[in-house]
Amino acid sequence: MNSGNVILWILGGLLPLCAIAFFLTRNRMTHREVAGLEVFSRPGYYGWLSVIYIAAPAIFVALCFSALGLLHLYQTPLPMFTVGILTAAALGLAASVRLINPEKNARLLVEKWARGLMIFAAGISIMTTIGILLSVLFESIRFFQSVPLWEFITGTRWEADTAFLAGAGRGEEGAAKPHFGAVPIFAGTFMITAIAMLVAIPIGLFSAIYLSEYAPKKVRATVKPMLEVLAGIPTVVYGFFAAITISPLVVQAAHAVGLEADYTNALAPGLVMGVMIIPFISSLSEDVIHAVPQAMRDGSLAMGIGKAETIRHVVLPAAMPGIIAASLLGMSRAIGETMIVVMAAGLRPNLTANPLEGMTTVTVKIVESLTGDQQFDSLLTLSAFALGLVLLFITLALNVISTLVIYRFKKQFALV
């Protein structure tokens, strides 16, 4: 049995059943209420309680069967699976009919379950992180068995060519030792990210200020959604735009002022990526600026302080934690962005401070190593996982720092 079907059976079989139970129970209680009899909680809560009575045992049974299947202990045949779930649901239904009575504190029970459900939902994000960590960790460990971690983090030479040949099964024919120094790759990532942020933060922030503080309602209603369009443009399209349109423009512009520029320069993907991030920053910043209490503005204006001064000295400081959070969200987008750099940035690891030169990024290298023709256990393929792992840690560090910054800001403005 395909365990993917679990979802199908849960959704297709259970949900209608739950819906029926919900409405039946709720109507039962409503009728009582209408008839003037006493009901402890609102009727809707009894409805939800009956849903819990049915869904909980059924989902439990389904999970047990699936766990057996996934651990290769016992493959439950589909009919038995269905019967099992339906039996559990039926028992639950019986229990709900028998046990749900008007004296029960349905609200308390439902809220307990709801809280449990919320914790479970919050747990999914943790499980996602753990999942990602695990899915890169094992391959990374294999990589680091061949390449010392220190060399990987501090090395300035990334020359993986010979690893490919070893991967293609011909390394023993005589290959130089490959070098896996990731510094140039991370340098490229940060260069492109920095360019993107230089574009996105000023434009995004000033757009947000203008839209929330100055713009007439009509302008705001038209411009805001237009900015959001920028976030929705697929990155593949941005990539093409950067490679075909912007990159040659940058080269021409550089020539015009007597500079040399590569066609795979870091400026073009950086600029386009910056444009892509504008709405992340403007939209979220605007929300937080909006959220600053009007009373603070009024107080400032009443003192004879100008509008811009009010914004600079009152509104922005109050909104700063949100703005920082928005910028960091944008920045993490830039670091993790893949398609734009795959198409417009180079593939050559290059340690330089000149944005007109070609350089590569971590995500480009990951895509390159994962979609190449080399043997799948070659060092080059494994390096993708190692790069992913390091990226994971960098973003983690970045976020811990930002959380601390925001916390301090909040304290400063006594928002905690």
Query: Backbone phi, then psi, for 259, in 5-degree steps?
Result: -110, 155
Q: Which is nearer to another protein, 98 or 231 (CB)?
A: 231
- The DSSP call for residue 345 is S
For the CB of residue 155, give the shortest distance to another protein in the complex, in Å: 13
Q: Which two tokens stand for residue 7?
A: 């979802």
| Number of Cβ atoms within 10 Å of the Cβ of 83 | 12
Q: Please identify which residue in 380, 382, 386, 390 interacts with another protein, judged by CB under 8 A.
A: 380
Amino acid at 195: I
For the CB of residue 220, give the shortest distance to another protein in the complex, in Å: 10
* Site stretch for another protein (CB under 8 A), options 29-37, 72-80, 148-156, 161-169: 161-169
Contact status: 293 vs another protein (CB under 8 A): yes
364 within 8 A of 340, measured Cβ to Cβ: no
Question: How far apart are alpha carbons 33 and 54 in whole angstroms?
Answer: 24
Owner of token pair 């993907």? 269
Contact status: 355 vs another protein (CB under 8 A): no
Q: Which is nearer to another protein, 98 or 388 (CB)?
A: 388
Look at residues 315, 308, 313 and name the one whose alpha carbon lies nearest to residue 294: 315
Contact status: 371 vs another protein (CB under 8 A): yes
State the DSSP string of 301-323: HHTT--HHHHIIIIIHHHHHHHH
For the CB of residue 327, give the shortest distance to another protein in the complex, in Å: 12
Residues 300-319 that bind another protein (CB under 8 A): 306-309, 311-312
151 within 8 A of 158, measured Cβ to Cβ: no
Size of the site for another protein (CB under 8 A): 150
Q: Which residues contact 388 (CB under 8 A, 6 or more apart)?
A: 136, 140, 362, 366
Contact status: 152 vs another protein (CB under 8 A): no
Of how many residues is the chain composed? 416
Contact status: 354 vs another protein (CB under 8 A): no
Contact status: 366 vs another protein (CB under 8 A): yes
Q: Please identify which residue in 96, 300, 327, 332 interacts with another protein, judged by CB under 8 A.
A: 332
Residues 164-183 that bind another protein (CB under 8 A): 164-165, 167-169, 173-176
Question: How far apart are alpha carbons 312 and 362 in whole angstroms?
Answer: 37
Residues 98-137 that bind another protein (CB under 8 A): 107, 110-111, 114-115, 117-119, 121-122, 124-126, 128-129, 131-132, 134-136
Residues 191-210 that bind another protein (CB under 8 A): 202-207, 209-210
Question: How far apart are alpha carbons 283 and 280 in whole angstroms?
Answer: 6
Q: Please identify which residue in 64, 198, 221, 253 interacts with another protein, judged by CB under 8 A.
A: 221
Residues 49-78 that bind another protein (CB under 8 A): 70
